[in-house]
Amino acid sequence: PGTPYRYHIANTPVPDPASRRQQGGVHGWSIVPDHSYPWRTPEWRGRPWHEMVVMELHAGTLGGFSGVLQRLPALAALGVTAIQLMPINAFAGDRGWGYDGVLPYAVHEAYGTPTELRALIDAAHELGLSVFLDVVYNHFGPDGNYLGLYADRFFHRDVATPWGGAVAVDEAPVARFFIDNALMWLKDYRFDGLRLDAVHAIDNPQFLDKMAAEIRAALPDRHVHLVLENEQNDAARLRSDAYDAQWNDDFHNVLHVLLTGETSAYYGDFADEPAERLARCLSEGFIYQGDPSPNHDGKPRGTPSAHLAPIRFVSFLQNHDQVGNRALGERLTLLTDPAKLRAATALMLLAPQIPLLFMGEEEGSESPFLFFTDFHDDLADAVREGRRKEFAKFEAFADEKTRETIPDPNALSTFEASIPQPGPDAGTWRSFYQTLLHLRRDHIAPRLSTPKQHPVEGRGPVGKAEGESTPL
């Protein structure tokens, strides 16, 4: 353990594609790992899914694994039952969201060591907190991905994705690479579950089914939870116990329209009769269940979901995508009335769907969460300009001078601005969240072990109670 090594292939020194630890970044040396760790919670078996209240965290903005560990007692006291780390696999540079990873097995060097990661998970388990990990099996980042140099069949060059050729999960060694990666996080680090990023870009249900089956067979005595992100609203993987739930963007989108009045881009799909759409979401899961979607060129989007239990859906008002993919990274605290936000928060936390929070919202944070990277030279220029061109279609950034106000993703100041700070009413917000989460723990969660859908009706304009003319 501790020995540096690498391979020399095609006249190029390359890291181990399954490196567990790197020295000197993704272009540097791989390190022989030390798997020993004195677990203090070896008997931990996890928590059942219906008890989950998930807080999504970015380890880098919180001071790495040790910084996250220090926040655990406050989260447990709040009523959170699980944390979900944004990707922690090795990616180029020190700063980033983690979705541009190139070494899926290696712990990102800037966040801490494998031992520090295990200590974080051990401490969470001592507090009764489950720990989930966001994993990316649909693409690799643009800097440090050497697989294409010597393993061309790892990708389908003729199948286009936003990140290049599709990952060839239909090839047995490629499928094995990712399934073993999932098992490593769950076994060696004792994560309690995985969130699979953008499986619509994988487009291979057989691979997803095989992965879930192997995980279930390997860990039959633990509460291991598997959650999907699939923008196609495909309910097929949720019909069995293979996958526990799926992120429900529809919940966020319709409430964002109601809270902010924004109807541009994909929010236009939710602009008409939003109260009725919200009612369908609460009672049936997806809003789009095969309905024509204007944002998808009028094509049908989604499959029927009314037969599924509410806990098959993860609801959220904010997450890394929905905040960070805004040009200026604004949170809802800056986009809507506080009273409306409190009403929406109460709805989310007391509804039977599984709630997901985003770090800082429990303290009314007004800090932005911006898109940040740590690329250099031509790649840095391409990312900066690509980010600004992405927003050219929005009226607020129609002219070039206005687009220049969009923060440079590669600037250190962009990362530093994204470190969540408590808002001016942090104590009030924290007390509000704690009250709601304790109500959920005592009165909602116990009734969710055998849940079923119930009809929900939209009664007039959302934001006004019967007989009132002012917003709640």
**Could you report the per-residue pLDDT of 132-149, keeping only the tens digit for each?**
999 999 999 999 999 989
The pLDDT value recorded for residue 23 is 97
Q: pTM, whole model, 2 decimals?
A: 0.95
pLDDT digits (tens, 9 = 90+) for 89-105: 999 999 999 999 999 99
Q: Produce one character per residue of 62-74: b if its CB has 16 or more CB atoms within 10 Å, e if not.
A: bebbbbbbeebee
The pLDDT value recorded for residue 392 is 77
pLDDT digits (tens, 9 = 90+) for 378-437: 999 999 988 888 887 777 787 778 888 899 999 999 999 999 999 999 999 999 999 999
The pLDDT value recorded for residue 451 is 67
- Cα 27 to Cα 23, 102, 175, 379, distances in angstroms: 9, 10, 24, 16
Asked if residues 255 and 344 have their Cβ atoms less than 8 Å apart, the reply is: yes
- Which of 100, 229, 284, 321 is labelled catalytic? 229
DSSP 3-state of 164: strand
The pLDDT value recorded for residue 386 is 85
Domains of the chain by start residue, with CATH: 43-145+193-447 (3.20.20.80)
Q: Tell me how far apart the alpha carbons of residues 357 and 80 are, in angstroms, rounded to a whole number.
A: 9
The pLDDT value recorded for residue 429 is 98
The pLDDT value recorded for residue 460 is 60
Query: Percentage of the chain with pLDDT > 70?
Result: 96
The pLDDT value recorded for residue 450 is 76
pLDDT digits (tens, 9 = 90+) for 202-259: 989 999 999 999 999 999 999 999 999 999 999 999 998 999 999 999 999 999 999 9
- Which of 134, 143, 197, 284 is labelled catalytic? 197
Q: Which long-range contacts (CB under 8 A, 24 or more apart) does 42-46 make?
A: 44/125, 44/190, 45/221, 45/222, 45/223, 46/130, 46/192, 46/193, 46/222, 46/223, 46/224, 46/225
Beta carbons within 8 Å of 173's beta carbon, 6+ residues apart = none
Q: Tell me how far apart the alpha carbons of residues 392 and 395 are, in angstroms, rounded to a whole number.
A: 8
The pLDDT value recorded for residue 304 is 97
Written as one letter, the residue type at 251 is F
Of 320, 261, 324, 258, nearest in space to 287 by CA = 258
Of 193, 202, 158, 203, nearest in space to 81 by CA = 193
The pLDDT value recorded for residue 468 is 41
Q: Output the average pLDDT for the chain.
A: 93
The yes-or-no answer on residue 143 being catalytic is no
Q: Is pLDDT larger for residue 453 or for residue 274?
A: 274
Asked if residues 315 and 283 have their Cβ atoms less than 8 Å apart, the reply is: no
The yes-or-no answer on residue 158 being catalytic is no
Give 185's pLDDT tier (boundaries 50, 70, 90): very high
- Helix residue spans in 197-242 (DSSP H): 205-218
State yes or no: pLDDT of 366 exceeds 80.
yes
Written as one letter, the residue type at 107 is V
State yes or no: pLDDT of 447 exceeds 80.
yes
The pLDDT value recorded for residue 415 is 98
